[in-house]
Structure 1
Amino acid sequence: MRRRLITMLAVLALGGAALALPHAAAADDPGAVYVAIGDSEAAGTGNLPYVDQSCLRSKKSYPMLLAATSGVPVSSSACAGATTTQVATGQLGDLGPATQLVTLTAGVNDLDWQGVLAACSSAGTDLACGAAMNAAAVALQGVPIGIGQLLGAVRTLAPNALIVVTGYPMLFGEVVNSCSVGNYQGVSVKFSSAQAAGVNAGLWQLNSAVQAGVGGYVGQTGDPGVRYVDVVGAFDGHGLCDSGSRWISGLVPGQPVVDRGFHPNAGGQQAYADAIALALASM
């Protein structure tokens, strides 16, 4: 798979992977060949060392891993906390007619997801959890629109690029009774089986919304150069409560490791990179 990925990205870098897209006129700044945009998942937040402290962007993020494997440098603007709107308005500066690959992970910050996790754990209450879930469900309705608008903005600036949009992994595996995820401010935080199932269900809905945004954009534009990559299967057996090695970090006290909480660790970032590499290799 590694050889096929290198070949695929090498072809992209040479402009040989021609898509049925209009060719843009040459510009003073043609853009980077591989551009990564998105939120903390794409930034690799929680995995030291950081190459950009302000965005918690890690040297071990999946775009960096893909770049290292392929030998094609990446220009990443991914930033922790970014919404689809913030990605569209603040992260597209490296795109251009020379851009051949764009990877994107976004959507979770369009919801108050951290608020959901806090409310729907032992640190919250049933009432607070219900309210947080309801608010997230309302916000979720805007995710397909946000993704579609973001894809349109990317395509305008990078008319020749293959755009890969990923979903999110499930946080929890099989929870029989409860799952401890560490402690926050000296208090142990746990999720019951019902709470863990509810969080996973919310992530399934988020992935469906992201995929709907991709499908809606492609359906409206006929754009052949956009792909959705589901990463759920890549994390099977490696959630917070699975018996296998965790590829999602629990809560870790202290600075700067507090950023790790509920984010893919180094193994999880590699799983992201592998899932995208597999998708690229099969195209």
Structure 2
Amino acid sequence: MSVRSFRASLCTFAIGVTAVLGLAQPAAASGGDYVALGDSYSSGVGAGGYISESGDCKRSTNAYPYLWAAANSPSSFAFVACSGATTAGVAAGQLGALGPSTTLVSITAGGNDIGFADVMQTCVLRSEAACVDRVDAAVAQMRTTLPGNLDSLYDSIHARSPQALVVVLGYPRFYRLSGSCVAGLTEKERGAVNDASGVLNGVLAKRAADHGFAFSGVVDEFTGHELCSGDAWLHSVTVPITNSYHPKAIGQSNGYLPAFRSAV
């Protein structure tokens, strides 16, 4: 199957894809109060085992915050991460879970601010040139508007929970180049997406450091388990479409959980 034929066969998924997607901090004790903020990479979209009460937020019992809390028994655990959340969405809808007694916070946020779902839809369904242009536009947003969005959110987190250890987690590198995939994105498109994820992680790491937060990337944990690796811990385009480009349960337990644990 040609790359363009592959794209054409995915057109029925287009609508679904758009719906997806301070001071130095003290070390956190496992028995403290833990709040898990963020987007679908923290809520656990793609990992199954969704908590029915979480609705469209799709919070999973296989997500790294839930797994960490189950293993460490914090005195309280507020799991408020939600699929589709932007930095503004986290600020507006999730920060009420924080308080002066909060000792540990985890967060993934930023991918939705730069339109990650639209980037991947463009790359899957349109031309190579359109894909690269859309990736370049997202990178421009990472360098211009995203830092300010993150500063605003991180300031609000610190104001509500000044004694908490805040751990900002990054996003995986999505593709193994020269890998096993024989259809789908071209190698140039895969490289562009990987480069963009590197820029995004760099922005997150810089803003976290400037606020005294910890940053824990997941690229090392996912190395060897990217798409086209033959042992992917991420979903490619799949059904339901909302799972696409999200970690599988093993990506949460063997990728995100160790990365989070290493920072706590």
Shift, 1:233, TM fit = 0.2
Relative to 1, partners in 2 of residues 1:139 and 1:179: Cα closer, same or farther, differing over 3 Å?
farther
Structure 1 stretches lacking a partner, 5+ long: 1-7, 15-32, 181-189, 219-225
1:236 to 219, 223, 238: 223
Q: Which residue of 1 aligns with 2:162?
A: 159
Query: 1:258 is aligned with what amino acid?
Result: I
Whether contact under 8 Å (1:170, 1:232) holds in the other structure is yes
Please state whether the residue corresponding to 1:108 is helix, strand or coil.
coil
* CA pair 130-172 structure 1, distance change in 2 beyond 3 A: closer
SS at match of 1:34: strand
Q: Greater helix share, 1 or 2?
A: 2
Aligned to 1:45: 45
Give the whole-Å Cα distance in 2 for the aligned partners of 1:157 and 1:179: 49
1:195 match: 189
1:12 shift after superposition: 5.0
Instruction: State the one-letter code of the partner of 2:246.
Output: H
Q: 5 Å matches for 1:1-283? A: 11-13=29-31, 33-51=33-51, 52-72=54-74, 73-121=76-124, 123-140=125-142, 141-176=144-179, 178-180=181-183, 190-218=184-212, 226-243=213-230, 245-253=231-239, 257-270=240-253, 271-280=255-264
- What RMSD over aligned residues (CA atoms) do the two structures have, in Å? 1.8
The answer to whether the Cα contact below 8 Å between 1:177 and 1:193 also exists between their aligned partners in 2 is no
Kept in 2, the 8 Å contact 1:84–1:150? The answer is yes
Comparing both structures, which one devotes a greater share of its residues to strand?
Answer: 1
SS at match of 1:48: coil
Deviation at 1:179, TM superposition (A): 4.6
Q: How many residues align?
A: 233
Is 1:12–1:100's contact at 8 Å kept on the other side of the alignment? no
Instruction: Give the conservation status (yes or no) of the 8 Å contact 1:175–1:196.
Output: no
Quick one: which amino acid aligns to residue 238 of structure 1?
A: H
**For 2:103 and 2:182, how far apart are their aligned partners in 1?**
43
Amino acid at match of 2:236: G
Decide which moves more: 154-163 or 111-120.
111-120
Q: CA deviation at 1:120?
A: 2.1
The residue identity in structure 2 corresponding to 1:262 is Y
Deviation per residue, 1:94-119 (Å, 9 max, x gap):
11111000001100001111121122
Match of 1:21 in 2: none
Task: Compare 132-141 and 201-210 and name the one that shifted more.
Answer: 132-141
Contact in 1 for aligned 2:31/2:73 (Cα 8 Å): no
Structure with max Cα Rg: 1
Q: How many Å apart are 1:239 and its aligned residue?
A: 0.6
**Alignment partners' CA distance in 1, 2:177 and 2:139:** 24
Q: Is the 8 A contact 1:177 1:192 kept in 2?
A: no
- Gap change, CA 1:108 and 1:179, over 3 Å in 2: farther
Conservation of the 8 A alpha-carbon contact between 1:143 and 1:213: no
- Give the Cα separation in 1 of the matches to 2:263 and 2:116: 28
Gaps of at least 5 residues in structure 2 are 1-26
| Higher relative contact order structure (alpha carbons within 8 Å, sequence separation ≥ 6) | 2
Instruction: State TM-score, norm by structure 1.
Output: 0.77
8 A Cα contact 1:175 1:192, kept in partner? no
Contact 2:169-2:215 within 8 A present in 1 as well: yes
